[in-house]
Amino acid sequence: MRIAVLGAGHVGPVLARLAVAAGCPVAIAGSGDPARIAMITEFLAPGAVPLSASDAVADADLVVLAIPWHRFGMLEPGMFTGKIVIDAMNHWPPAAAPLGTSEEVASRLVGARVVKTLNHIACQDMEPPDGRAVGLAGDDAAAVEAVSEFLRRIGFEPVPVGSLAAGRLLEPGSPLFGVAVARPEFEKFTKELA
């Protein structure tokens, strides 16, 4: 599974590092010239390849959006057609919005197979993953299964929470936000919220 991580800030390099350690080919991109993130990549995610966002996505099976929400509008929607896209973004600072980020991502990236996950877990709790539960949500069952496989491979325990709309449970303001626990405890939260 070839991975493209868009975002080379706090979250992106952690996920790139975990994916490299799991044996996946990984490309990572910031918003500009890949030369700008060459050193970050060498230190924080050795083995990942810095590329432009469009080149990284073109070669990938699975794309992780780990960029600030207010920058999402910069991305060219056409390049995501047919790709499985993880939306790890959050409204930040938390904002009351009529739709969850992933519903907006799916409606803008027409033809992409969007799965929401990793939103609720802070980057400092992502590594080591230690089998921590991560909720995931999506409307495309095969894409959810592919992302679950990726999450398992990098060391998390995926826990489906329902449709993309149900994925709002993973966003800031939800009791699940910030939760970084093992599956049984995570499922207690989800059952209480059901």
**In the set 18, 24, 30, 161, which binds ligand NAP (CB under 6 A)?**
30
Closer residue to ligand NAP (CB): 117 or 190? 117
**What is the Cα–Cα distance from 137 to 135, expressed in whole angstroms?**
7
Task: Please give the residues from 65 up to 84 whose contact with ligand NAP meets the rule CB under 6 A.
Answer: 66-69, 71, 74-75
Residue 54 CB, nearest approach to ligand NAP (Å): 9
Q: What is the rounded CA–CA span in Å between residue 37 and residue 33?
A: 8
Rounded Cα gap, residues 29 and 172, in angstroms: 25
Which conformational region is residue 136 in: left (phi greater than 0), alpha (psi within -120 to 50 degrees), or beta? beta
Question: How many amino acids of this chain bind ligand NAP (CB under 6 A)?
Answer: 27
What minimum distance in Å lies between the beta carbon of 41 and ligand NAP?
11
Does the footprint of ligand NAP cover residue 29 (CB under 6 A)? yes
CA-closest candidate to residue 8, choices 54, 65, 59: 65
Q: For ligand NAP, which is the closer residue by CB, 12 or 160?
A: 12
90 near ligand NAP (CB under 6 A):
yes
Relative orientation angle of helices 141-154 and 11-21, to the nearest 10 degrees: 80
Q: Which residues bind ligand NAP (CB under 6 A)?
A: 6-12, 29-32, 53, 66-69, 71, 74-75, 88-90, 92, 118-119, 122-123
